[in-house]
């Protein structure tokens, strides 16, 4: 079978829409491998493929070689044992893992004798770390981890890979909740509010980046601008940005009138 693309019309916007949809399902790495091998089958040179899909020439060569050698599983990350393309082969020796939530604790039950790992329900990072570690150790499937953590299988594979390579810090950086009160104690919160009001009254910049720089200079407090931005919105400080200076000016005028 020979496929000629010379007289074929391609729609770039439609192509991007379809690639985005497929990437959301399979992940960027899998889609790149599919495109690489498809273009190879259509007769494009490896150098042209590498340039078109923005991939190193050697990587293109390796992908094509692996697909020829290993078939469908080569489209996935072979560092993980679970395939989303092929039927799962049940492992007789693997103990069934059950997650039970009771009395504000998450119980991870496994083993023939019903051994349990107990984690407080509020310790979400600990729970996520345990499950991804069990996944990387072959004690849990990608599908199970996806169901328990309420994330897509693509996200699960990505997090498990990062946990292996970068340690637990990668989970902290990914969490939306990381912008909340883990290290943002009352003292730091008070300094941030004080700095915000001082900048506002003195007609200085009140952006999160400006506040971050001012807090670093005045108190030697190192806060990311995104954390400051989150707490400004949470405390409602952005709502008084226009009204507070007017209120202070009004109070000053009243005081001058009293004297």
Average pLDDT over residues 193-201: 90
Distance CA 56, CA 149 (A): 34
Least confident of 77-91, 120-134, 157-171, 181-195: 77-91
| Confidence check: pLDDT of 179 > 50 | no
The answer to whether 80 and 145 are in contact (CB under 8 A) is: no
Assigned token pair, 129: 């770390």
The answer to whether 158 and 189 are in contact (CB under 8 A) is: no
Three-state secondary-structure class, residue 2: coil
pLDDT band for 70, please (50, 70, 90 cuts).
confident
Average pLDDT over residues 33-51: 89
| Confidence check: pLDDT of 175 > 70 | no
Report the predicted TM-score, pTM, of the whole model to 2 decimal places.
0.33
Average pLDDT over residues 235-251: 84
What is the structure's pLDDT at 144? 82
pLDDT band for 253, please (50, 70, 90 cuts).
confident
What is the structure's pLDDT at 22? 86
Average pLDDT over residues 129-141: 83
Which is nearest to 109 in space by CA: 139, 150, 149? 139
Distance CA 117, CA 247 (A): 56
Average pLDDT over residues 87-104: 60
* Residues facing 115 on adjacent strands: 110
| Confidence check: pLDDT of 78 > 60 | no
What is the structure's pLDDT at 93? 47
Average pLDDT over residues 178-197: 75
| Confidence check: pLDDT of 84 > 60 | no
What is the structure's pLDDT at 182? 45
Return the residue matching tokens 């799962």.
Answer: 88
What is the structure's pLDDT at 236? 87
Distance CA 29, CA 87 (A): 21
Packing angle of the helix pair 57-70, 28-41 (nearest 10 deg): 80
Packing angle of the helix pair 12-26, 153-166 (nearest 10 deg): 70
Average pLDDT over residues 155-165: 84
- Per the prediction, the chain carries an average pLDDT of 78
What is the structure's pLDDT at 4? 67
- Tell me which of 250 and 213 has the higher pLDDT: 213
Q: DSSP assignment, residue 110?
A: E
Give pLDDT tens digits for 11-33: 888 888 888 888 888 888 888 88
């Amino acid at each position: 079978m020979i496929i000629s693309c010379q007289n074929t019309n391609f729609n770039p916007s439609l192509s991007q829409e379809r690639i985005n949809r497929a990437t959301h399902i399979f992940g960027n790495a899998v889609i790149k491998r599919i495109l690489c091998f498809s273009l190879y089958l259509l007769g494009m040179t490896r150098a042209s493929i590498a340039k078109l899909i923005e991939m190193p020439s050697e990587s293109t060569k390796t992908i094509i070689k692996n697909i020829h050698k290993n078939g469908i599983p080569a489209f996935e990350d072979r560092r993980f044992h679970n395939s989303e393309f092929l039927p799962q082969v049940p492992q007789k020796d693997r103990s069934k893992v059950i997650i039970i939530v009771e009395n504000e604790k998450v119980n991870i039950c496994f083993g023939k004798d019903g051994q349990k790992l107990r984690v407080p329900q509020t310790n979400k990072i600990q729970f996520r770390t345990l499950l991804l570690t069990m996944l990387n150790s072959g004690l849990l499937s990608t599908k199970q981890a996806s169901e328990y953590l309420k994330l897509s299988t693509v996200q699960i594979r990505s997090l498990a890979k990062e946990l292996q390579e970068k340690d637990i810090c990668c989970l902290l950086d990914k969490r939306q909740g990381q912008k909340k009160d883990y290290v943002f104690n009352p003292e730091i919160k008070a300094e941030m509010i004080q700095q915000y009001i001082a900048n506002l009254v003195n007609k200085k910049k009140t952006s999160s980046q400006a506040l971050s720089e001012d807090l670093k200079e005045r108190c030697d407090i190192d806060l990311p601008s995104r954390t400051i931005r989150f707490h400004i919105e949470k405390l409602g400080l952005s709502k008084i940005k226009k009204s507070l200076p007017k209120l202070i000016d009004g109070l000053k005028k009243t005081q001058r009138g009293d004297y």
